[in-house]
Amino acid sequence: MPLRKVAISQAQFERSPDQDADIFTADMIGHDEGAPVTIGFGRYGPHQELNETMLVDDVMMVIAGHLTVTGGNGSVTAGPGEVVHMPKGERIQIRSHEHGATTAYVTYPHWKDAR
C-alpha cells in the first residue's frame, strides 16, 4: 500500500445511502486498497439533515462550511479545521447550515462493510 494524497477535486460523489437529502460521499481509500480505515470526502447542500446510528467510529474534519451534529449528550457546531468524533453506537443527527459544507472523513472500521 503506497503513500497517497487525496484531494476533493478527484472525488466522485455518490448520494449517501438510505436517504434522499443532498448529502454525498466519496470514498477515496479503504478496504480495496488494504487500508484499515476508510478515507473519503463528504458534501452537504444547504440546510440538509442526516439521521443515523453510527455503525463505525467516524472522524469528520470540516473543510468548508459548518455542520451541527447532535448526539445523546448534546450538540456541537464545527467549522473549517474543526473535527467531530462520532462514536460507534451513537444516534446522531447532522445538519448543514446555509452554505452547506464539505468534509473529509476517516472511519474505523470501513463504514460500507458495516452496513
- Residues found near its own copies in the complex (CB under 8 A): 1-8, 28-29, 35-37, 39, 57, 59, 61, 63-64, 69-74, 76-78, 80-88, 90, 92, 102, 104, 106, 108
Identity at 88, one-letter amino acid code: K
Cβ closer to its own copies: 3 or 18? 3
At 80, phi and psi to the nearest 5? -50, 130
Cα 115 to Cα 44: distance, rounded to the nearest angstrom: 21
Nearest distance in Å: CB 113, its own copies? 14
Q: CA 9, CA 51: separation in Å to the nearest integer?
A: 27
Q: Which is nearer to its own copies, 3 or 12 (CB)?
A: 3
